[in-house]
C-alpha cells in the first residue's frame, strides 16, 4: 500500500479540518486580537463554557510537560463530535458520538509559531484503557481511532492521544455540528468557489450531506457550510481522507474572510463570535474560566497565520481501508515533544562568490503553511476550490 506524508494542499491558511477546527481556529485567531478594551466585553461569557470532568486522566502517569506560563510551549487537542443529540438530530438517527475530526495543536515556546496535526479518524491504533460512558472501564484494545470518543468521550480520546504520542495534552476543546454552523453564520457566511456543481443528496439509510451548490463562487451559510465539509459519498473518492483537503480549503477561506471583514478590529463582531464559541464548546475545567481564556488570548499576541504549519499524521493504507501510521509519525511526535519544527528544515549548499559552499536551511517541501497559494477555480485566484 502507498505511504503518505503530510499532504500538501495549496491554501493560504490550509488545514483546519472540519467543524472542530472551525470553532477553535476562530477562537485562536480571535485570541490574537484580544487586548485592552476588547477583553472586558467577554467577561460575562465564562458561564457559557461547559467544563468536563477530567479525573480519569489522572489515574495513571501522564507524559511530562513544561511548567505552563504565558510563553511556554503548550498542546491543545481539538475534537469535532458527530453527535446527533439535541438540535443535531436532524442529521440522522445515529447513536452515540465519534470524533470525526481530531487536531493536535502544538504552540511553540514563545508562542510565535505553531504546528497543527490532523489525526485521521480511521487510524488503526491501540486505544487507551478508559472509563466508559456507562461508567464501566475498558481495557486497551486495537480499533479505529475515533472509537475512543465513542466509548469514553473526549477524555478517552485525550488518554489515547497521550498513549500513542507520549505528548502531554495541556488543554482540549470539543465542538459539534451546531457550533460549526453558528460560527459560520456569526461571521456572515464563507465564500467558496467550485470548479463544477456539487450535489450530495441525503439518501435515507445510506448517507449524504444535502450539499447542493452551483459552479463558481457562493457565499454559504452555516447549514450549507456543514453540508460542504461533511459531503463524502458523492464527491471525490468517497473516503474520509479524500474530503480532508476540501475541509482544509474551506477553513482557509473562512479565516481569510474573517480578516477581510475586519473581525480582528471589530469588538462587536469579536463579542458575537466568542459568544457563539463559548456557548457551544466543552473543555477541561482549567481552560473553562473566562480568566484562563483571557490569559491564553493575550499570550498569542505574536502568533501570526504565516507561522502556523499544518500536517497530517504520516500514514499508509492497510487492510480493510484502515490507516496505519508510518515510522515518520514517530519522528513527528518526537519533534513536537522536543518543541522542534517538523519536518525539519532541509539543509542545502549555498555557494557565495569567493567563498566555499556553506550549508543553509531551506523549508522542507512537505511542510505546509497558511501562506501557501490556495487551490482555486481559476489560476491566480485565492478562493476555495
- What is the pLDDT averaged over residues 173-187? 85
- Is 255 a residue whose pLDDT tops 70? no
Cβ distance 270 to 262 under 8 Å? no
pLDDT at 55: 92
pLDDT digits (tens, 9 = 90+) for 219-232: 999 999 988 887 77
Question: Mean pLDDT throughout 140-150?
Answer: 94
Mean pLDDT score across all residues of the chain:
75
Report, as an integer, the average pLDDT of 70-98.
66
Q: What is the domain range of residue 139?
A: 3-344
Residue position matching grid coordinates 499532504: 7
Query: Is-cis flag, bond preceding 343, omega within 30?
Result: yes
More confident residue, 347 or 318: 318
Residue 297 lies in a domain: yes
C-alpha distances (whole Å) from 307 to each of 70, 114, 167, 171, 374 are 18, 7, 21, 21, 16
* 163-183 mean pLDDT: 91
Of residues 332 and 270, the one with the higher pLDDT is 332
The 10 Å Cβ neighbour count of residue 354 is 5
CATH of the domain at 34: 3.40.630.190
- Beta-bridged to residue 362, according to DSSP, are 346
pLDDT at 179: 80
Task: Reply yes or no on whether the pLDDT at 70 is more than 50.
Answer: yes
Q: Average pLDDT of 351-363? A: 44
Q: How far apart are CA 18 and CA 156, in angstroms?
A: 20
pLDDT of 152 higher than 90: yes
C-alpha grid cell, residue 181? 454552523
- pTM value is 0.74
Contact 254, 190 (CB under 8 A): yes
Exposed e or buried b per residue across 137-146, where buried means at least 16 C-beta atoms within 10 angstroms of its C-beta: ebeeeebbbb
pLDDT tens string 95-106: 445 567 788 999
Q: Which residues contact 223 (CB under 8 A, 6 or more apart)?
A: 181
**Domain-located, residue 199:** yes
Average pLDDT on 9-14 reads 40
Query: What's the rounded Cα separation, in Å, for the pair 35 and 24?
Result: 19
Buried b (16+ CB within 10 A) or exposed e, 99-117: bbbbbbbbbbeebebbbbb
288 belongs to a structural domain: yes
pLDDT of residue 318: 93
Residue 285 has pLDDT above 80, yes or no: yes
- pLDDT for 1: 56
Going by DSSP bridges, is the β-strand pair 141-144/211-213 parallel, antiparallel, or unpaired?
unpaired
Q: What is the mean pLDDT of residues 25-38?
A: 48
Where residue 13 falls among pLDDT bands split at 50, 70, 90?
very low
Residue 370 forms part of a structural domain: no
Mean pLDDT of the 115-122 span: 88
3-state secondary structure the chain: CCEECCCCCCCCCCCCCHHHHHHHHHHHHHHHHCCCHHHHCCHHHHHHCEEECCHHHHHCCCCCCCCCCCCCCEEEEEEEECCCCHHHHHHCCCCCCCEEEEEEEEECCCCCCEEEEECCCCEEEEECCCECCCCCECCCEEEECCHHHHHHHHHHHHHHHHHHHCCCCCEEEEECHHHHHHHHHHCCCEEEEECCCEEECCECCCECCCEEECCEEEEECHHHHHHHHHCCCCCCCCCCHHHHHHHHHHHHHHHHHHHHCCHHHCHHHHHHHHHHHHHHEEEEHHHCCHHHHHHHHHHCCCCCHHHEEEEECCEEECHHHCEEECHHHHHHHHHHHCCCCCCCCEEEECCCCCCCCCEEEECCCCCCECCCCCCCCCCCCCCCC
Q: Residue 206 has what pLDDT? A: 67
Residue 291: the pLDDT is: 72
The band of 92, judged by pLDDT with boundaries at 50, 70 and 90, is very low
Tell me the average pLDDT across 34-44. 51
Provide the sign of the torsion angle of the four alpha carbons 240, 241, 246, 248, taken in this order: positive
* 97 located within any domain: yes
What is the CB neighbour count within 10 angstroms for residue 94?
13
Contact predicate 369/14, CB 8 Å: yes
The span from the CA of 294 to the CA of 31, in Å, is 8
Provide the domain count of the chain.
1
pLDDT band at 358 (very low <50, low <70, confident <90, very high): very low
**Residue 27, in any domain of the structure:** yes
Domain presence at residue 378: no
Q: Let me know if residue 374 belongs to a domain.
A: no
Amino acid at each position: 500500500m502507498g505511504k503518505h506524508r503530510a499532504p500538501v494542499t495549496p491554501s493560504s491558511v490550509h488545514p483546519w479540518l472540519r467543524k472542530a477546527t472551525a470553532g477553535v481556529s476562530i477562537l485562536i485567531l480571535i485570541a490574537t486580537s484580544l487586548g485592552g478594551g476588547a477583553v472586558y466585553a467577554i467577561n460575562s461569557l465564562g458561564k457559557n463554557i461547559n467544563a468536563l470532568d477530567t479525573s480519569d486522566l489522572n489515574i495513571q502517569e501522564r507524559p511530562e510537560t513544561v511548567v505552563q506560563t504565558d510563553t511556554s510551549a503548550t498542546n491543545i487537542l481539538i475534537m469535532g463530535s458527530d453527535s446527533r443529540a439535541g438540535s443535531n438530530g436532524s442529521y440522522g438517527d445515529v447513536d452515540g458520538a465519534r470524533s470525526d475530526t481530531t487536531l493536535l495543536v502544538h504552540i511553540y515556546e514563545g508562542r510565535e509559531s505553531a504546528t497543527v496535526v490532523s489525526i485521521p479518524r480511521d487510524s488503526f491504533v491501540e486505544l487507551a484503557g478508559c472509563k466508559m460512558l456507562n461508567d464501566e472501564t475498558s481495557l486497551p484494545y486495537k480499533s479505529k481511532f475515533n472509537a475512543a470518543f465513542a466509548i469514553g468521550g473526549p477524555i478517552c480520546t485525550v488518554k489515547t492521544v497521550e498513549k500513542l504520542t507520549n505528548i502531554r495534552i495541556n488543554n482540549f476543546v470539543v465542538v459539534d455540528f451546531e457550533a460549526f454552523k453558528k460560527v459560520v453564520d456569526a461571521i456572515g457566511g464563507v465564500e467558496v468557489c467550485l470548479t463544477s456543481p456539487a450535489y450530495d443528496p441525503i439518501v435515507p439509510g445510506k448517507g449524504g450531506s444535502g450539499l447542493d451548490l452551483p459552479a463558481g463562487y457562493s457565499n454559504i451559510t452555516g447549514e450549507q457550510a456543514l453540508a460542504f465539509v461533511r459531503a463524502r459519498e458523492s464527491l471525490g473518492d468517497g473516503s474520509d481522507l479524500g474530503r480532508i483537503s476540501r475541509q482544509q480549503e474551506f477553513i482557509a477561506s473562512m479565516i481569510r474572510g474573517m480578516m477581510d471583514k475586519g473581525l480582528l478590529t471589530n469588538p462587536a463582531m469579536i463579542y458575537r463570535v466568542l459568544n457563539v464559541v463559548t456557548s457551544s464548546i466543552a473543555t477541561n475545567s482549567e481552560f473553562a474560566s473566562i480568566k484562563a481564556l483571557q490569559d491564553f488570548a493575550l499570550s498569542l499576541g505574536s502568533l501570526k497565520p504565516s507561522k502556523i504549519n499544518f500536517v497530517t499524521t504520516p500514514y499508509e493504507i492497510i487492510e480493510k481501508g484502515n490507516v496505519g501510521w508510518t515510522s515518520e509519525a514517530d519522528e513527528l511526535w518526537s519533534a513536537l515533544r522536543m518543541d522542534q519544527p517538523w519536518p525539519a528544515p532541509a539543509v542545502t549548499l549555498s555557494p557565495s562568490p569567493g567563498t566555499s559552499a556553506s550549508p543553509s536551511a531551506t523549508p522542507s517541501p512537505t511542510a505546509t503553511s497558511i501562506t501557501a497559494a490556495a487551490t482555486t477555480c481559476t489560476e491566480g485566484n485565492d478562493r476555495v476550490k
